[in-house]
Amino acid sequence: MTETLMNRYRQAVQPLLDPDEQLVDVAKVIPAAGAEGIGDGAGAAIGNKLARIGAVTGGSGSIARSFPNVESGVAAKLLVVTDRRTAFVTVGPDIRKLGRLHWHVPRDLVAGVERRPRLQAMARFRLRFADGSAVAMYTMRRRTIEALAGHLGG
């Protein structure tokens, strides 16, 4: 991802922060629960189901179960880390505009980031929470996962 695009994502997220809240990192992600491949045949349907295996772990009322399943049609789905919280934000096709906050939790409720085996073109990881639940996500680069783990624990 280009530095210019990342700066635009940061600009779209910045207004969503509290006045004294500091932005630490922004990562473009695809939650596994909403992952969709290209195509409309039986192969695509099977691939989509496989991609969603283990997408959310944790019982009803867990932190992971509160993570949103955002429909497609947005330019980017972003995992945002600040000095206070971890958030999920979407940015529309015009990334110069304000992003939309869908979900957030205090940083102390995030137990860490766990890199998963890479069996496909995208890197998979789990965002683990203090209550033992987790959400699986994909990103294009392993470095993104390493940066998140550096901020949130690995």
Q: Which tens digits make up the pLDDT trace of 1-48? A: 567 878 888 998 999 999 999 999 999 998 887 544 444 544 434 444
Beta bridge partners of residue 81, listed in sequence order: 25, 86
Burial of 63 (0-12, 13-18, 19+ CB in 10 A): buried
Give the CATH fold of the 3-152 domain. Answer: PH-domain like (2.30.29)
Q: Which residues contact 94 (CB under 8 A, 6 or more apart)?
A: 75
Radius of gyration of the chain (CA): 15
Of 141, 121, 136, 142, nearest to 38 by C-alpha is: 121
- Dist. CA 71–CA 115, nearest whole Å: 25
Beta strand 100-106 with 85-91: parallel, antiparallel or unpaired? Answer: antiparallel
- Map out the domains of the chain as residue ranges: 3-152
pLDDT higher than 70, residue 108: yes
For residue range 61-97, list pLDDT tens digits in order.
999 999 988 766 778 899 999 999 999 999 987 766 7
pLDDT higher than 70, residue 136: yes
Q: Which residues contact 51 (CB under 8 A, 6 or more apart)?
A: 32, 35, 36, 37, 120, 138
Joined together, the tokens standing for residue 147 give 């940066």
Cβ contact 83:24 at 8 Å: yes
